[in-house]
Amino acid sequence: MAEKEDGKAKADKEKEPERKPEEPLSEEEMKDVAGGFIPTPATFGNPLSSRMASRLRRRGAVGPVDPEEAVSRGPVDPEQSRRPDDPKHPWHLCFGPETLVPTRKGYQPISGIAVGDEIVSVTFDGTLFVDRVEKLDVHHGEISVIELSLDDDVILVTPDHKVWSGEKWIRAADSIYVSRTKVGRIVPAVYNLRTTTGTYLVGYSGLLVSGGRVEDLHSEDPVAEVAR
């Protein structure tokens, strides 16, 4: 009996159409996401509700921060991960380990995201969709970060990471959300997600950031390169 059920489940799964990364959520999926998120990212004028964030905290949707688990659960791309002492590649385009990312299961710290996880992202016109994590970039060492302040969020990010201003990609350090640049603010590890579409959201406020290849983030035309 169990074998028949397993066979049926497998057949049903095979019948499911493959979703393209840029395809918007269905009505049912949108309801599922709306149970934990409000589909209006901060970069498009409407931050996520702080009350919704509080509800998620209370029900335990925010998972524990475990950097070691993040590294072991998915491959790290050696071509994109740069050592702090590598003079040819001095950039660390990443976030602190406790930075929250909206996923289909709720907000999770970026250090706990694994390759293959489904995350909630948004198109440049503000449409939510489900994206998938393809690779992880993890950098260990004494890494300098700045603070971005959005509503109840304080996001630790490396200065050169690209964030979407609503019109173009800009350096995090040039963002209006910078609350403080503290000399000597150091974290032991930083993380970046490489997604199917090249972007993802961070924080309760839903800040759209780039998750493309490191070399693309220094392109003269970052929107065309990262969003392709």
- Give φ, ψ of 3 to 5 degrees: -65, -40
β-sheet with 186-195: strand ranges across: 106-109, 100-103, 118-122, 128-144, 186-195
Tell me: pLDDT of 83 over 90.
no
Q: Is residue 49 part of a domain?
A: yes
Q: Is residue 1 part of a domain?
A: no
Q: What is the DSSP letter of 28?
A: H
Tell me: pLDDT of 211 over 70.
yes
Give dist(CA 4, CA 15) in Å, integer: 17
Q: Is residue 11 part of a domain?
A: no
Q: Is residue 97 part of a domain?
A: yes
CATH number of the domain enclosing 88: 2.170.16.10
**116 in Cβ contact with 168 (< 8 Å):** no
Q: Which long-range contacts (CB under 8 A, 24 or more apart) does 56-60 make?
A: 56/106, 56/107
Tell me: pLDDT of 129 over 90.
no
Q: Is residue 3 part of a domain?
A: no
Q: Is residue 152 part of a domain?
A: yes
Higher-confidence residue: 160 or 38? 160
Structural domain range at position 214: 23-226
- 40-44, 111-115, 153-157, 170-174: which is most confident: 111-115
Number of domains in the chain: 1
pLDDT at 110: 93
Q: Whole-number mean pLDDT of the chain?
A: 62
Per-residue pLDDT band at 172 (split at 50, 70, 90): confident
Residues 36-76: tens digit of each pLDDT:
444 334 333 334 433 334 433 343 333 333 333 333 233 33
Q: Is residue 2 part of a domain?
A: no
Neighbours of 127 (CB within 10 A): 13
Q: Is residue 64 part of a domain?
A: yes
